[in-house]
Structure 1
């Protein structure tokens, strides 16, 4: 299937905090460790950092002719898909600072967010709502709306 729209949003906080955590551990933990133990600790932390960044480092959103897909990280997992036939309504909205980043259950339903405050609220045909964060929520909303208008009516 041909991708009609794609955007990627980086989880900047992870990219900043994980290396700082590694540096902090090496400074505080390194005082009482032998060099080999320190290197082993740093290697383990670096592997964990790369794994976390690989899974949650960015949010990618794709639209093709049949569905909307979004996933975190470079491994393609976790990944979600929503067929356009399951979407009743779409609109631009804002997330609140206290709702955080990542995959969140909120009072409105699920939130998938990597950075910023802009999002697209999707009301599904069953009435459930989800929000997908985007650096360009107006463009994402317009792309989804365009695909919805091209879907055959049932």
Structure 2
């Protein structure tokens, strides 16, 4: 079963864009006793724009025997070649695991929002591996993985 889903990271957008707006107002109105210099303002804006561009969305796709993840504008792409699927389960991730690409005690977690993920245990090139993919529709991703690989 082909599967492709793109989810928007509204939390990332909702946090970084207002902060950028506040920095703009602080620079434009020269707030405080030590206002933001132009070079510092440009550096802050550039860093925030890069972060938002890299992580504003997550696309998940099953293509043949490969699970593909792509963040933001597509500079960050991760591919998992799955020879054999061992186990797929819907899990709840703790809030402190955060967003983005994370090392956790249960393996790598790739997510953009929410507290639900699909834990995938699989075999690739003879090695057993595990990964967690956060999604707004974990049951649908689980079904697609089971139909594609079992």
Q: Which TM-score tier does this pair reach, normalised by the shorter chain?
A: 0.7 to 0.9
Aligned twin of 1:143: 144
Match of 1:8 in 2: 6
- Match for residue 71 of structure 2? 72
Matched residue count: 143
Aligned to 1:58: 57
Moved more, 130-139 or 16-25: 16-25
SS at structure 2 position matched to 1:119 = strand
- TM (norm. structure 1) is 0.80
Structure 2 partner of 1:152: none
Q: What is the SS of the residue equivalent to 1:121?
A: strand
5+ long unaligned stretches in structure 2: none
Quote how far apart the aligned CAs of 1:40 are: 6.9
Query: How many Å apart are 1:41 and its aligned residue?
Result: 6.2
- The 3-state SS of whatever aligns with 2:2 is strand
Cα distance in 1 between the residues matched to 2:40 and 2:22:
12
What is the root-mean-square deviation of aligned Cα atoms in Å?
A: 2.4
C-alpha deviation, 1:77, in angstroms? 2.2
**Contact 1:84 1:147 (8 Å CA) reproduced:** no
- TM-score of the superposed pair, with normalisation by structure 2: 0.82
Higher helix proportion: 1
Given that residues 118 and 137 in structure 1 are in contact (C-alpha distance below 8 angstroms), is that contact kept between their aligned partners in structure 2?
yes
Matches of 1:42 and 1:87 in 2, distance apart?
49
Q: Which runs of 5+ in 1 are unaligned?
A: 150-154
| Partner of residue 114, structure 1 | 112
- Can you list the C-alpha shifts for 1:18-47, whole angstroms capped at 9, x where unaligned? 1111122233344269xxx87776665444
For residues 112-148 of structure 1, what are the alpha-carbon distances to aligned partners after superposition, in whole Å with 9 as ceiling and x for unaligned?
0111111100113234321000100000000000011
Q: 1:17 aligns with which of 15, 18, 35?
A: 15
